[in-house]
A and B are shown apart, each in its own frame.
Chain A
Amino acid sequence: MTTAGLASVVSAAATATGPVEILTTRHAYVAFALLLCIGLYMMIANPNLVKKIVGLNLFQTAIFLLFITSGYVEGGAIPIVPSGGAETGTYVSPLPHVLVLTAIVVGVSLTAVGLALCIRIYDEYGTLRTDVLRELLRDEGSIPERADLGTGGSNAPDGLGGESDD
């Protein structure tokens, strides 16, 4: 049942061609792509660490949306079969819902860890902007090996600009 439902979604997606048609019939997929790109852009371009985490959440939510959309079957009912009842009729696929539920839990824990780290960074440096942080870390002599960045960082494309690399 699941396979058939998904296959029909996929083949329907393949037949929808014109841009207008895609927009009107596949808006969930368009929203998925948009959210994904917005989230990614936020992570790369926004200097604020908390907003990076917001972008991360947006990015993950987009993927959840894809999964949920994939499980949807036109005219499908809630996939609950009464005990003893015959398994007839059309149901939406329950598997993606379960997956997304799990992924949401994972996402919540990630956000928690990320925000905890943000609090620690703010306590230590009093800022959450990466550009200011970069300066502070560069000036900071108290942390060993930081001076190394003078030689290592200028040559190596690593340094502290890591988050713009993805």
Chain B
Amino acid sequence: MKGKLLIWLPFAAFAALALLFVAGLLRPDDRLIPSKLVGKPLPDFALPAAASDRPALSSAEFAQGKPRFVNIFASWCVPCAAEAPQIAAMAQAGAPIDGIAIRDARADVDAFLKRHGNPYSRIGLDARSSVQLALGSSGVPETFLIDGQGRILHQHIGDIRADDVPELLKMWRAAQ
């Protein structure tokens, strides 16, 4: 009797594995890679100015007691143009927003801001994605919320949609 049951053991093991694999295949695909630096201090950086009429951006600008957003964007990035009205709305609501332009050139950034509006206080030029890599950011656009002590509170991956704005502003107010 015991031997008869034992014969089914390999089959049971196979069925369990098959079930595991099917469950894995049916799980929705998640391609977002969140930064592991959320909750940790902002890495040190100093970037030159990306636009003609905005000052340069360095990590020293954060950690001054007030929470700020930093928006990773690029003039060549289409979703960045799509999220521009939402960024403008957040700035209008009083949230200070800085920008980091990835792999960009000043003339292109100027043209982009002229066309889509300029809600940024400061804009740094990250010509070779080095600050983007240091932040653990995996693409454009992304938006980070930094608290008054220079700690990363939140990372928003992808463009900010209209229904993301209230949630982001709530987080910003809570960080005051």
Specify whether A and B are partners.
Answer: no
Question: B: which residues have CB within 8 A of A?
Answer: none
Question: A: which residues have CB within 8 A of B?
Answer: none
